[in-house]
């Protein structure tokens, strides 16, 4: 058992601590056993544990290493760029992954949305509850994550000329919030590109009916009304049984077309896998994407962002313009527990 105070000091969960620092974990466990058997000294106070100094020294070194690792992930303000830049971001925190099966208790018998938690949206565009089950919105924290990301990008001097986004509402909301943080809400419309949708196998009930550009506009989102996507939803419906390799190729080819058809810097907002499927073909052209990606994306947190830059005619992955957004698990409070 790892001392809770130690976990708080390094900001890690017990499980992740055990995996990352097995030797220190064993030392703490031994110390815990000694503490359980502690006897009183002649003065009535506890005997000083023999390993206390060892643990204190180890913690000091560990804290320093954690801070060093954290510093290495914080981007500095970007210098004058030498080539085009493509930023690829995952959507922010989604309602269904946070609250589980949220639709049954969030809509009344008339099909009207009723907010049941402060982290749920205050309101939602009018839509069938069944569709919301398939096309979840962001939580309020998710919108904040994305806006904060945009603000950090602005502080880092990021310039965005084009925004392309998966039609999933959580992705559209993320793109809109990032743009808001960048201060470009009115001047930079979002181009909805269905080809950026995640693997179609994850939609056994069929592709959801996504909000139209007019509906998005009514919801306060600056969606490009005159944009003709390179891949339509109807095109996707013809490929519902696509293989994982076909999905990776779809995203890769689309990103190539988007870069070829535009000038300037691009922001692509999609899903967890998008971070790799839209960049791998550029920075690792000889390494085919495999199903190992399904394991790797578990480490891609909400609002993760990657950046690749064109240098001397070739693309390379470089440090993102802003730090990641990390938050802890927060159990739901029920006042009735105290009644």
The length of the chain is 339
By the 10 Å C-beta count (0-12 exposed, 13-18 middle, 19+ buried), 61 is classed as: exposed
Cβ contacts of residue 50 below 8 Å, gap of 6+?
34
Determine the Cα–Cα distance for residues 193 and 268; give it in Å rounded to an integer.
Answer: 10
C-alpha pair distances (Å), 292 with each of 263, 288, 289, 308: 33, 11, 8, 22
Instruction: Say if residues 59 and 6 touch (Cβ distance below 8 Å).
Output: yes
Determine the Cα–Cα distance for residues 67 and 60; give it in Å rounded to an integer.
Answer: 11
C-alpha pair distances (Å), 214 with each of 130, 180, 241, 270, 299: 21, 19, 30, 21, 35
Catalytic residue among 85, 91, 94, 147: 91
Cβ contacts of residue 84 below 8 Å, gap of 6+?
259, 263, 264, 265, 266, 309, 310
**Quick count: other Cβ atoms within 10 Å of Cβ 219?**
18
Determine the Cα–Cα distance for residues 270 and 233; give it in Å rounded to an integer.
Answer: 15
162 is catalytic: no
H or E segment and range at residue 141: helix 140-155
| Residue found by looking up tokens 């990103």 in the block | 255
Asked whether the CA dihedral 230, 232, 235, 240 is positive or negative, the reply is positive
Catalytic residue among 147, 170, 250, 271: 271
C-alpha pair distances (Å), 167 with each of 40, 139, 191, 275: 66, 17, 9, 16
20 is catalytic: no
In the DSSP assignment, the letter for residue 196 is G
DSSP letters spanning 282-298: HH-TTS---TTHHHHGG
Helix (H, G, I), strand (E, B) or coil at 91: coil
Catalytic residue among 90, 170, 191, 250: 90
- Give catalytic residues, as residue numbers: 90-91, 271
């Amino acid at each position: 058992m790892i001392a809770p105070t130690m976990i708080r000091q390094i900001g890690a969960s017990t499980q992740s601590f055990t995996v990352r620092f097995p030797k220190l974990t064993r030392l703490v466990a031994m110390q815990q056993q000694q503490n359980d058997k502690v006897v009183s000294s002649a003065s009535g106070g506890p005997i000083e544990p023999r390993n206390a100094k060892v643990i204190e020294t180890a913690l000091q070194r560990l804290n320093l290493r954690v801070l060093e690792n954290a510093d290495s992930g914080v981007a500095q303000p970007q210098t004058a760029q030498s080539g085009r830049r493509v930023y690829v971001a995952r959507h922010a925190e989604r309602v269904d992954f946070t609250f589980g099966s949220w639709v049954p208790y969030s809509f009344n018998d008339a099909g009207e949305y009723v907010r049941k938690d402060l982290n749920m949206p205050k309101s939602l565009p009018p839509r069938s509850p069944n569709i919301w089950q398939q096309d979840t919105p962001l939580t309020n924290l998710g919108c904040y994550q994305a806006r904060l990301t945009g603000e950090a990008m602005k502080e880092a001097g990021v310039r965005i000329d084009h925004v392309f986004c998966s039609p999933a509402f959580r992705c559209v909301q993320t793109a809109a919030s990032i743009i808001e943080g960048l201060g470009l809400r009115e001047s930079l419309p979002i181009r909805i590109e269905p080809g950026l949708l995640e693997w179609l196998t994850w939609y056994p009930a069929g592709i959801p009916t996504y909000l139209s550009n007019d509906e998005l506009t009514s919801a306060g989102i600056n969606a490009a009304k005159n944009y003709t996507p390179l891949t339509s939803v109807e095109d996707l419906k013809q490929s519902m049984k696509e293989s994982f390799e076909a999905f990776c190729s779809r995203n890769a080819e689309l990103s190539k077309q988007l870069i070829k058809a535009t000038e300037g810097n691009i922001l692509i907002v999609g899903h967890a896998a998008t971070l790799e499927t839209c960049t791998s073909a550029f920075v690792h052209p000889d390494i085919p994407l495999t199903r190992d990606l399904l394991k790797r994306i578990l480490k891609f947190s909400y609002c993760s962002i990657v950046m690749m830059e064109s240098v001397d005619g070739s693309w390379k992955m470089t440090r993102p313009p802003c730090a990641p957004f990390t938050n802890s698990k927060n159990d739901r409070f029920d006042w009735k527990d105290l009644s």
